[in-house]
């Protein structure tokens, strides 16, 4: 029997995991959504919708948010790693 490959999470699932991770790191830094948006050069409403898992955001915006949080891009994606 061949080894079963892990199933790719749905787009929605990835968005929700990323959004929850973003919120958690932002709150750990005691930053408001407004403050993070300003640091990342994004709109507050956009940051809010990302945190709610509503955005399939782009590579560049992922990088911007990581820099806004002053953390490594890879650390922000770690909760999406295979189990």
Q: Which residues bind its own copies (CB under 8 A)?
A: 5-6, 8-9, 11, 14-15, 18, 40-41, 56-60, 62-64, 66-67, 70, 72-75, 77-78, 80-82
Q: How far is the CB of 65 from its own copies (least distance, A)?
A: 10
**Nearer CB in complex with its own copies: 35/73:** 73
* Six-digit token string for 27: 């709150």
Nearest alpha-carbon partner for 41 in 65, 23, 16, 24: 65
**Nearer CB in complex with its own copies: 14/44:** 14
Q: Which helix (H) or strand (E) holds 76?
A: helix 73-77
Residue in the block written with tokens 């820099």: 67
Q: How far is the CB of 27 from its own copies (least distance, A)?
A: 20
Contact (Cβ atoms closer than 8 angstroms) between residue 23 and residue 32: no
* Six-digit token string for 23: 């919120």
Q: How far is the CB of 15 from its own copies (least distance, A)?
A: 7
């Amino acid at each position: 029997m061949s080894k079963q490959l892990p199933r790719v999470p749905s787009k929605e699932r990835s968005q929700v995991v990323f959004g929850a991770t973003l919120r958690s790191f932002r709150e750990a830094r005691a930053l408001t959504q407004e403050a993070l948006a300003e640091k990342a050069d994004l709109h507050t409403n956009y940051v809010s919708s990302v945190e709610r898992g509503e955005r399939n955001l782009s590579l560049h915006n992922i990088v911007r948010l990581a820099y806004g949080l002053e953390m490594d891009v890879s650390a922000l994606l770690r909760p999406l790693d295979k189990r």
